[in-house]
Amino acid sequence: MDYKKYITTRCAMVEEQLSHLVPELSTPEKVLFQAARYSLLNGGKRLRPILALATAESLGGDLKKALTPACALEMIHTYSLIHDDLPCMDDDDYRRGKPSLHKAYPEGLAVLAGDFLLTHAFEVLTHSEQLTADQKLRLVQILSKQAGGLGMIGGQILDIESEGKKINLEQLRLIHHKKTGALITASIQFGGIMANASDREMHLLEQFGKEIGLAFQIIDDVLDVTASEKKHGKKVASDVTNNKSTYVTLLGLEQSEAMAHSLLNKAKDILKQFDHDVSLLQHLAEIIVTRNG
Ligand code: GRG
């Protein structure tokens, strides 16, 4: 399989569907939709939807049916970035090389655009005609748990509480598991639900998601230090200037990369337990760990 082509084609499908799900309006609410589209259609990697689609396709699910749930994941991801950039959070002026939403639009509108994308993710999930009622329920359960108070938002709170404090590796692992890993795990679980995976497969998918979710964040910490400002779309080493503990500040670059590779190996071992051909997932996991931007 041409993996590069797989990513490009799925990325284009996701972007087309996102544009359809959050359209340009001519009603009085149009500025809200415009602001949401500014962030949503602003050239992210689309990692989470691609992981969901790849998991669904690898396990025999239907690509078209999986598209809207995959987009719901990207809406949640985008809302988290919009809110994370706000002055009351990380106060980042740039995202993906462009002004953050609250810099391009009034701050209150940025808050509301984030709120809208969070709410809209659940609306599109429950309206998705091609899903069974059971699938919709399970997707809503997974997304609300992984993005919620003990998942992504919980991770953000732990992160805020840890600022300026010395934390150990175990505390940092927990923050990353929740803040970043939970939504990546949800993406993999979404693929399983769309493919009607067995309980055993769902369990394996969850374990796989946890390993690559953490590996993704460790590499993000590494790239924060090593990547150029242009490639990463934000100030280099912003974690360090923000006085945040990261894998790199706790372990150094070399050991952080080694840890990400060790997680990748664990993830690959989990994939070996599937009866289906899951080589696509293996390659995506490798890309996550070896990426340079
Ligand atoms: C609910 C306010 C709020 C925050 C939740 C997820 C999160 C916590 C904040 C987002 C900020 C952040 C740096 C999270 C770590 C995860 C991460 C590396 C996000 C960037 O994801 P990519 O690289 O982004 O997939 P693109 O731009 O490619 O979509």
Measured in Å, residue 146 CA sits from the centre of ligand 1 at 14
Distance CA 206, CA 270 (A): 10
Per-residue pLDDT, 29: 95
Q: For the beta carbon of residue 92, count every other beta carbon within 10 angstroms.
A: 20
Per-residue model confidence (pLDDT) at position 146: 98
In this structure, the number of other CB atoms found within 10 A of the CB of residue 25 comes to 13
176 alpha carbon – ligand 1 mean position (Å): 11
Atom of ligand 1 nearest to the CA of 48: 25
Closest CA to 22 of 63, 96, 74: 74
Q: What is the pTM of this model?
A: 0.94
Q: What was the pLDDT predicted at 244?
A: 80
Rg (CA), the chain: 18
pLDDT per residue, tens digit, the chain (293 aa), is 899 999 999 999 999 999 999 999 999 999 999 999 999 999 899 999 999 999 999 999 999 999 999 999 999 999 999 999 999 999 999 999 999 999 999 999 999 999 999 999 999 999 988 899 999 999 999 999 999 999 999 999 999 999 888 899 999 999 999 999 999 999 999 999 999 999 999 999 999 999 999 999 999 999 999 985 545 555 555 565 567 889 999 999 999 999 999 999 999 999 999 999 999 999 999 999 999 87
Which has the closest alpha carbon to 172: 241, 256, 270? Answer: 256
Q: What angle do CA 190, 51, 34 make, to 5 degrees?
A: 85
Q: Which of 16, 17, 15 is nearest to 124 (CA)?
A: 17
Distance CA 212, CA 264 (A): 6
Q: What is the pLDDT of residue 234?
A: 56
Decide: 44 in ligand 1 pocket, CB within 6 A. Answer: yes
Q: Which two tokens stand for residue 211?
A: 């390993």
Q: What is the pLDDT of residue 242?
A: 61
Q: Are 129 and 123 in contact (CB under 8 A)?
A: no
- 248 pocket-lining for ligand 1 (C-beta < 6 Å): no
Question: 25 alpha carbon to ligand 1 midpoint, in Å?
Answer: 27
Nearest residue by C-alpha to atom 24 in ligand 1: 44
pLDDT of amino acid 128? 85
Does the beta carbon of 83 lie inside 6 Å of ligand 1? yes
Give the span between the Cα atoms of 140 and 268, in whole angstroms.
Answer: 28
Closest Cα to atom 7, ligand 1: which residue?
Answer: 80
Ligand 1 pocket check: which of 102, 156, 175 to mutate, most ligand atoms within 8 Å of Cβ? 156
3-state secondary structure of 98: strand
